[in-house]
Amino acid sequence: MTRRLVPESIIKPPYAEQGISSVWNPEVPLNSPQDIVGLRKAGSLAKSILDLGQKMCLPGTTTEEIDKALHAIIIAKGAYPSPLNYSGFPKSVCTSVNNVIAHGIPDERPLQDGDIINLDITVYLDGYHGDTSATFLVGEVDEKGKALVECTRETLEKSINICGPGVPFKEIGRVICEHADKYGFSVSEELSGHGIGREFHCHPLIYHHLNDEEGHMETGMSFTIEPILCQGSPMGIMWPDQWTISTVDGGRSAQFEHTLLVTENGFEILTK
């Protein structure tokens, strides 16, 4: 699978050519004022790309067409599409449709009326990553599908609203599960949120399920919260492409994601 080209003039992450992953240092980075400026710019760009992608989520459009268009816009903005060749990922965005939990690879399947699709967008701009995702309705979606998407969006909002200095990371999972359980949805444990900044992924890990992990938020930390809710079993199965993860029972899943900065008085959503 041939990778899309990125101009030489664009600043690229260290893995762009080698296809490696992030360097995981044991400490959680605390961002400097300069870092925060860079994170804000990357987060703002990621959000604008996601908004453009939403407009393409129409019946008849292929996810390959979405990937091609968004790749072109990202590089036109002077940024690198972070997923491209990260640990060998072949495309510039992730497109997860219906029962795909995460990391769906764009392909030639046309979107169909009634589908739900998660677009996961990360950009690398001037040395910083901005990461966001949302699940969109394609055409007319049934009420159960709409309820899944809405509940997932609400879990992200509720978990963000508790963030601030001194808050235990494990509170995020508690809030998400409490709301998901209320509406009969399960919370996937396949993936976690993560620290982000100069590295695509770093500490802290943010678990969305109930957990007893240690650690608490500190001013200057930046990380993603990205809950995935499922209609049936939260268990996932890896496809032969070694990227795509789908539900084991065919139930649909939805995901929403923001990049956050912990501030002295609470939080700042960098991808809003």
The answer to whether 203 is a known ligand-binding residue is: no
Distance CA 24, CA 10 (A): 24
The answer to whether 120 is a known ligand-binding residue is: yes
Give 25-59 as a DSSP string: -SSPP---HHHHHHHHHHHHHHHHHHHHHHHH--T
- Take residue 81 and report the two structure tokens written for it: 């599409």
φ and ψ at residue 258, rounded to 5 degrees: -135, 155
Distance CA 241, CA 223 (A): 28
The answer to whether 154 is a known ligand-binding residue is: no
Distance CA 144, CA 235 (A): 19
C-alpha atoms less than 13 angstroms from C-alpha of 96 in its C-beta half-sphere: 26
Distance CA 87, CA 199 (A): 13
Name the residue among 57, 23, 68, 39 with its Cα closest to residue 202. Answer: 23
The answer to whether 201 is a known ligand-binding residue is: yes
The answer to whether 181 is a known ligand-binding residue is: no
- The torsion angle over the Cα atoms of residues 194, 47, 238 and 13, rounded to 10 degrees, is -60
The 193-195 sheet, strands edge to edge: 202-206, 193-195, 222-225, 258-263, 266-269
Name every residue whose Cβ is closer than 8 Å to that of residue 49 and which is 6 or more positions away in sequence.
Answer: 70, 73, 74, 77, 121, 123
Which residues contribute to the annotated binding site?
103, 120, 131, 194, 201, 226, 257
Which residues contribute to the annotated binding site for a divalent metal cation?
120, 131, 194, 226, 257
Which residues contribute to the annotated binding site for substrate?
103, 201
